[in-house]
Amino acid sequence: MIRNHNNAVTIPVLIRCEEIRRDGHVRVGKHLIPVRVLPLPRLDSKFEKEFGQVPEKSNADFLRLLLLIVAINNREQPHLAPRGYLHSYVTVTAHKTSSKIERVWERVKKDPNRELAAELNHRLRGAKPVIWWVKSEHRLAPGLYCRDIATALFAQLHTRLQTPKGLAVCLRCEKPFIRSKRIQRYCSSNCGAAARMSQMRQRTRKEQRSTNVATEQWRAKKAG
């Protein structure tokens, strides 16, 4: 087990690797398998080169469920966050699964944790709790061994459910990042500034439309 920067205990996610790169071993049946601890994924070319290519569908599902986890950790309320993580999760899920958006909203509003549990349980069938040998510490410890990189990614989501600081997804560029505080919504100051500028332009257009409507109504009333 590992204590993170919040002093919370997490179980390391383990994936098979070359012997020279191993952090330890896990015995599966009669086989002694070299394993590495999977770090927080950044899902870039460097990560995939080191740990293996992530299938496109698994990558999309990972980002989609990450939206739901961040919304749950932030205790986001649907009616208070029209542009938040929960709204993004529902919109993307409805599109990806060809479901009606109202039906997805109904499930999420009823119990977002139940929605998340169902999604993760389906994807963690390839994960197995194990006792593994930690090479650097010369001791046995609990871990979660995953048969492939896709399963390991979803296992990372599972181990980070209650972590205020950790994995998040940028609401602008939709890329995963490691946030420094619970309320951080964007991966960088550039994305944050661009998002605020976009919101300001939307408000300006909305105000302009309202002004135009009011002007037309005034002219129509005056002409009549």
Assigned domain for 61 exists: yes
Convert the pLDDT of each residue in 143-155 to its tens digit. 999 999 999 988 8
DSSP-derived secondary structure for 149-191 = HHHHHHHHHHHTTT-SSSEEE-TTT--EEE-SSTT--SSSHHH
- DSSP, collapsed to helix, strand or coil, labels residue 24 as strand
Assigned domain for 45 exists: yes
Confidence label for 8 from pLDDT (cuts 50, 70 and 90): very low
Please say if the pLDDT value at position 1 is more than 50.
no
Assigned domain for 12 exists: yes
CA-nearest of 9, 70, 11, 23 to 51 is: 23
Assigned domain for 205 exists: no
- Residue 26 has a pLDDT of 95
Contact 142, 130 (CB under 8 A): yes
Round to whole Å and give the CA distance between 67 and 205.
Answer: 28
Q: How many CB atoms lie within 10 A of CB 131?
A: 11
Q: Span 217-222, mean pLDDT?
A: 72
Convert the pLDDT of each residue in 118-138 to its tens digit. 998 999 999 999 999 999 999
* Placement of tokens 């650097």 in the chain: 136
Convert the pLDDT of each residue in 28-69 to its tens digit. 888 999 999 988 766 667 878 888 888 888 888 888 888 888
Assigned domain for 22 exists: yes
pTM of model > 0.85: no
Please say if the pLDDT value at position 141 is more than 60.
yes
DSSP class of 54: P
- Residue 224 has a pLDDT of 60
Round to whole Å and give the CA distance between 59 and 71.
Answer: 19
Please give the tally of structural domains in the chain. 1
Round to whole Å and give the CA distance between 65 and 71.
Answer: 10
Contact 112, 104 (CB under 8 A): no
Strand partners, 32: 27
Q: Which domain holds residue 87?
A: 2-187
* Placement of tokens 């939709």 in the chain: 174
